[in-house]
Amino acid sequence: MNTYSLQSITGGLTVKVETCAVCGTDVKMYKYGYSAAKFPLIPGHELAGTIAQVGEGIQGYREGECVVVAPNIPCGTCFYCERG
């Protein structure tokens, strides 16, 4: 398992992923490929966890709070979006 140091963030949250599901789409990508996928690819986009860090300017969330992530609208430019 890889661990990463938290970096100071602005305008966002850092979530410690506690669980992640692999859905049918992930299985199809694995079996048949997906032209838009950039490797290395980290499958799984249905996840839940706890907030590890609340970025500057963010209100209504607190560290340690349980959250789920709705990944339907990715930014497409961050470290994680670029890896799938």
Give the C-alpha separation, 61 to 12, whole Å. 10
Find the largest Cα–Cα distance for the chain.
42
Q: Bigger pLDDT: 83 or 13?
A: 13
Q: Structure pTM?
A: 0.64
Q: Bigger pLDDT: 6 or 29?
A: 29
| Segment holding 30, helix H or strand E | helix 24-32
Domain 13-83 fold is Quinone Oxidoreductase; Chain A, domain 1 (3.90.180)
Give the C-alpha separation, 1 to 58, whole Å. 29
Q: What is the pLDDT of residues 20-65, one digit of tens each?
A: 888 888 888 888 888 877 777 777 778 899 999 999 999 999 999 9
Q: Which one-letter amino acid corresponds to residue 81? A: C
Domain extents in the chain: 13-83
Contacts of 47 (CB under 8 A, 6+ apart): 15, 17, 18, 19, 20, 21, 68, 69, 71
